[in-house]
Structure 1
Amino acid sequence: MSTLDHVGNLFAFAGGLGMFLYGMNVMADGLQKTAGNKMRQLLGYLTNNRFLGVLVGALVTAIIQSSSATTVMVVGFVNAGIMNLTQAAGVIMGANVGTTITAWLVSANEWAGALKPEFFAPLILAIGAFIVTFSNKQKLSQKAEIAVGFGVLFIGLSFMSSSIGVYQSSPVFSKAFEILGGNPFLGILVGAVVTAVIQSSSASVGILQTLAMKGIVNWRSAVFITLGQNIGTCITALLSSAGANKTAKRAAVIHLSFNIIGAGIYGIIMTIFFGVFDNLAMQHITSTEISIFHSIFNVSVTVLLFPFANVLVKLSGLIIHEEPEDEEDEEVEEMVLRHLDPRILETPSFAVENAVKEVVRMGDIVLKNMKRVTKEAMNPQPSEKQLDKVFRDEKVINHLETMITGYLVKISNLALTEKQSKIVTDLFYTISDIERAGDHVENIAEFMQMKHDDKIAFSDLAKDELHKMTAQVIKTFDYAIRAIENDDVEIAKQALMGEEEVDRMEKQYRKQHIERLERESCVPEAGVIYIDMMTSLERISDYADNIANYIIDENEK
């Protein structure tokens, strides 16, 4: 065989590998878009019950075809405060089980007979490509993406298989795998490094299976390389946790320690096993047999370590030390997006869901400020400390508006459904309304400070009116935020009715205030501040009305 032939085979293998990785990515994206809401519902079932966590982890990974992607999402959820470490440990264990489905899919070329995927892959690719190109229906196009990914994946496998087949009797390959099989640590290292480089254990196992189909790989080397692949897949989560909080880093460490312990246990067992059954160790392994071992390994390690999940959580705490936060750290923490994390952008349905949660948190900070202001308005001498907290939280609200806006821009560029696109658009308007409401709360705090500094007193009647109107505004704004949180039209309608009541009260109290001025029972200085406070309260109610209408519009069209 000439040098040109060798180079051609190398190019064919590289191209096949590229198609395999790209096909896996496209198929996973299509599955995520199609089943995104179902994944959200699955994660909604998570409690502190680790068994449910394992099932959910396995199902989600089977859907998106990547344990690395699932674990990265888990790191993101932990970082965003959506999931605790006990839940994360269960999902991570389940992810290792779910990832075995890809190996079975690849090995189907051996055991599926006339129905082997490689045979139908070109037709499936063609059908999917035609639908993606000519269909205007979003849901149908998303399902067609799965078909395109499936077809490209198996055509890539075919390329790799045919390019490597000419070397199946080559002594170089047999010697290489003999060395890898003879040294367990080297075999595990190679498996870990290759998987870390391509950041997918499913893909690296698929490459190993392609070599096995041509009779190049022996049992001993395949087993140790597979163990290494399970360690190498942790690199994605570790890299993902680099910019996350310490709890998220602990989730990545749980993933790594789980796979290292599992690989260590099986490494010892299989070394002893091959020492006894030496003849089997050097026999060629098939792609199906790799699938069987891969499944047995991941399922048995999960069963074995499942009772020790809390031990893994504690171990992660020893590796990543938690330090108590001071008040300054807490203030910085307020500025951070708790529910939004770049990792969640991998799954659009989760990204939208958590954007809503972050907007709700922003609204709740405004509500907290309003309650502070209401409490201090009733005090003869407002607390400087409490008013300072109002001003500090207003800075947090402004900062969150900027950060959430940037995140919504990223979400808007994802593949969203029509309803999700509408939600994201409305969230842009919502955060603007919430920020403006926060500005008016700050204005009220400033009016109170001015009133105190200038020693201006309100009449008892004016205090009573302000108290009633503030209570109604808080109630109305709370209805609006809860409507966002629960996507509830009925709660939104409560906010609209609350806003009408605020308008009625504002007109009535303004009229009564003018009458007091005419009777000279109220000094002009107090009257100016009173009117300004009433105006700010009425504006806050208007913003609540806007927010409620967004929710009604999203659900009734």
Structure 2
Amino acid sequence: MFVNIVNALGGVGLFLFGMIWLTDGLKELAGPALRRALARFTRTPLSGAMTGAVSTALIQSSSATTVTAVGFVSAGLLSFPQALGIIFGANIGTTATGWITAILGFKLDLGEISLPLIFLGALARMFGGPRLRSAGMALAGFALLFLGIEVMKSSLAGFEGLITPADFPQDSLLGRLALILLGALITILTQSSSAGVATALALLGAGAINLPQAMAMVIGMDVGTTVTAALASLGGSVAARRTGLSHVIYNLLTGVMAFFLLTPYSALIALPGLQLDPQIALVAFHSSFNILGVVLILPFTRPFARLVTVLVRDKGSALTAALGKELLSDPALAFETANRTLERLVRAQFADLALRVRDPEPSRTDEARLRSLREALSELRGFIDAIPQGKDDAARAAQRASMLHILDHLDRLHFRCMQDDPIAELGKEHRLRRLSRVLADVAARCETEDGLTATESRLKKLRRLMRRQREIYRIDTMSRAARSGMPAEALSLRLEAMRWLHRVSYHLWRISFHMVKLQEGRAPASPHREAAMDVLTD
């Protein structure tokens, strides 16, 4: 008996490895296509639910679908109600694994061809091109599913007659609750509701449990996935935490509904002339209550979204609320979110600069705003550093380089905004006041402008103006100081204020220059000779 138990657990392990390999292979094959499909076809919660169900069924991973939806919400490409539709639909898509397991694994008995398929998958993984390697991993994972099912079937066959439905909690209120708890525990331990459903199908096929007991366990497995979702969302972005809570609430409500459907469904399949195979009846029940749950919740998606938004409020800096560790599993999505966050930071820094120049007197509000920007810059830099770096992805390397250039200039611009003395000096002399107003107006206009190319052109002209004025102002001011007997300290402060304007205009231009390169996906060019002149005379 002990050997059979160990072998059965090994079968579950093979099934889990198969799910991991199948999912990873399909994600590599369909990664960009999945993102395009979710963005293109999600317009309403209903279309989101349909897209989420199909996507999850194709790639066999509700987590991949959910993470993509979370990333789109963080990046502002989808609203939270639209993403909820995807998440609801993903629950339907996960039931496809049960049908594959029941029909191909238990009815067609594909265990005998699993080993040749694993061999072919290994060859493709070792010697094929990028797409063939991904297909090989998916094929090997697909075959491992059925090898695991075969091992579970043969191992549990040894318990036939030794373990019967009488050894499990009976079909009563407390018995059903105990079976739901057992199903949830299996899912928590295996971290996969699909593996739990496969185990229930194997136990049902071996006669160890009956259909009502198996249905109660499957309800528990659906509820058990909420623990995984909740744990995965801890420490994530606001969108991820809202998604995790949505998943928990929705699955608990669906589980309660399914619990009350146990008796009617058992009576339905017991009707004369409706002789369903117990394993098919089980996966049909699993799909039915998930589909019914989505149908009932979709009309209330927007109120549901408002409830979750109230329960999970924005915390920390709104500038970096989109960043979360859950996005790091998809580098392309992580870069897209980092890019959007960087744009928000640039606009916020430009707006802060305009405010500081127009009102030179520092206040507590200025200090709080600067501190928030500094923390946001640090958080974004840490997030970009944590994004996995591909070996042969030149485009992504160019993106990273542009982002690092922008962050460097934002840091230096942030430092300039904390220099109270030169900022205060800007309002004490006519030419400095005029040039500072020009700088503030251009920065404020860029903060609200959409066209990066137009912004870069305008800031380039501003930087050229400040460079010319710097030398003119230095000569004129020193001449006037010599004639009027201006104290050396006052002269030094005014010249420093002019240098401050020039330096700030340079950083503004370089930020916009690299923002254009980031949008175009090109590697940042070396600074032009005139840009180098700014640095040399700085």
Give TM-score, length-normalised by structure 2. 0.81
CA contact 1:19–1:156 (8 Å) conserved in 2: yes
1:334 corresponding residue in structure 2: 317
CA contact 1:174–1:216 (8 Å) conserved in 2: yes
Aligned to 1:458, which of 429, 435, 442?
Answer: 429
CA contact 2:226–2:248 (8 Å) conserved in 1: yes
Change (3 A) 1:246 1:361: closer
1:124 corresponding residue in structure 2: 117
Change (3 A) 1:274 1:527: closer
CA contact 1:433–1:543 (8 Å) conserved in 2: yes
Change (3 A) 1:77 1:120: same
Identity %: 22
2:354 corresponding residue in structure 1: 371
**2:161 corresponds to 1:170:** yes
CA contact 1:128–1:144 (8 Å) conserved in 2: yes
CA contact 2:237–2:322 (8 Å) conserved in 1: no
CA contact 2:67–2:326 (8 Å) conserved in 1: yes
1:419 corresponding residue in structure 2: 395
Change (3 A) 1:176 1:335: same
Shift of 1:24: 0.7
1:409 corresponding residue in structure 2: 385
Q: Which deviates further from its counterpart, 295-304 or 495-504?
A: 495-504
Shift of 1:20: 1.1
2:422 corresponding residue in structure 1: 447
CA deviation profile, 1:69-88 (whole Å, cap 9, x unmatched)? 54566677768887655334
CA deviation profile, 1:479-527 (whole Å, cap 9, x unmatched)? 8xx6xxxxxxxx6654553454234313332343245336628963534
Shift of 1:550: 4.9
Counterpart of 1:237, as a letter, is: A
Counterpart of 1:530, as a letter, is: M
CA contact 1:103–1:291 (8 Å) conserved in 2: yes
Aligned to 1:219, which of 206, 211, 216?
Answer: 211
CA RMSD, 1 decimal: 3.8
Pairing of 1:336-375 with structure 2 (within 5 A): 337-375=320-358
- How far apart are the structure 2 equivalents of 1:547 and 1:289? 57
- How far apart are the structure 1 equivalents of 2:524 and 2:508? 25
CA contact 1:31–1:64 (8 Å) conserved in 2: yes
**2:1 corresponds to 1:9:** no
1:384 corresponding residue in structure 2: 362
Counterpart of 1:23, as a letter, is: G
- How far apart are the structure 1 equivalents of 2:157 and 2:137? 30
- How far apart are the structure 2 equivalents of 1:49 and 1:171? 52
CA deviation profile, 1:74-121 (whole Å, cap 9, x unmatched)? 6777688876553343233212111111112212326875xx654543
1:326 corresponding residue in structure 2: none
Shift of 1:401: 3.1
Pairing of 1:181-196 with structure 2 (within 5 A): 183-196=175-188
Change (3 A) 1:227 1:123: same
Change (3 A) 1:197 1:393: same
Shift of 1:307: 2.3
- How far apart are the structure 1 equivalents of 2:277 and 2:213? 9
- How far apart are the structure 2 equivalents of 1:187 and 1:17? 19
Shift of 1:474: 6.0
Change (3 A) 1:535 1:253: closer
**2:532 corresponds to 1:535:** no
1:506 corresponding residue in structure 2: 466
**2:472 corresponds to 1:497:** no
CA contact 1:339–1:358 (8 Å) conserved in 2: yes
CA contact 1:23–1:152 (8 Å) conserved in 2: yes
SS at match of 1:170: coil
CA contact 1:16–1:158 (8 Å) conserved in 2: yes
Q: Which deviates further from its counterpart, 265-274 or 183-192?
A: 265-274
Shift of 1:201: 1.4
CA contact 1:57–1:94 (8 Å) conserved in 2: yes
CA contact 1:110–1:287 (8 Å) conserved in 2: no
Pairing of 1:257-268 with structure 2 (within 5 A): 257-268=249-260
**2:412 corresponds to 1:436:** yes
Shift of 1:248: 5.6
**2:211 corresponds to 1:208:** no
Counterpart of 1:351, as a letter, is: A
1:327 corresponding residue in structure 2: none
2:536 corresponding residue in structure 1: none
Q: Give the aligned length.
A: 514
Change (3 A) 1:275 1:87: same
- How far apart are the structure 2 equivalents of 1:419 and 1:438? 28
CA contact 1:477–1:495 (8 Å) conserved in 2: no
CA deviation profile, 1:39-91 (whole Å, cap 9, x unmatched)? 33344358772212212321332244233554566677768887655334323
CA contact 2:184–2:221 (8 Å) conserved in 1: yes
Aligned to 2:89, which of 69, 94, 100?
Answer: 94
Change (3 A) 1:245 1:29: closer
CA contact 1:75–1:248 (8 Å) conserved in 2: yes
- How far apart are the structure 1 equivalents of 2:131 and 2:498? 55
- How far apart are the structure 2 equivalents of 1:417 and 1:153? 32
- How far apart are the structure 2 equivalents of 1:43 and 1:435? 36
Shift of 1:411: 1.4
- How far apart are the structure 2 equivalents of 1:37 and 1:384? 48
CA contact 1:58–1:95 (8 Å) conserved in 2: yes
Change (3 A) 1:422 1:210: farther
CA contact 1:97–1:298 (8 Å) conserved in 2: yes
SS at match of 1:384: coil
- How far apart are the structure 2 equivalents of 1:176 and 1:279? 27
1:545 corresponding residue in structure 2: 513
- How far apart are the structure 1 equivalents of 2:354 and 2:41? 33
CA deviation profile, 1:310-346 (whole Å, cap 9, x unmatched)? 45456657xx7578xxxxxx9x722773111112223
Aligned to 2:29, which of 15, 31, 34?
Answer: 34
Q: Which deviates further from its counterpart, 543-552 or 144-153?
A: 543-552
Pairing of 1:43-192 with structure 2 (within 5 A): 43-45=38-40, 49-67=44-62, 70-71=65-66, 85-109=80-104, 113=108, 117-135=110-128, 137-167=129-159, 169-176=160-167, 179=170, 183-192=175-184
CA deviation profile, 1:176-200 (whole Å, cap 9, x unmatched)? 3573688322222222221222222
What are the ranges of 5 or more consecutive residues in structure 2 without an aligned counterpart? 526-538
Counterpart of 1:129, as a letter, is: A
2:374 corresponding residue in structure 1: 398
Change (3 A) 1:260 1:499: closer
CA deviation profile, 1:360-382 (whole Å, cap 9, x unmatched)? 22222211212213433xxxxx4
- How far apart are the structure 2 equivalents of 1:95 and 1:117? 27
2:532 corresponding residue in structure 1: none
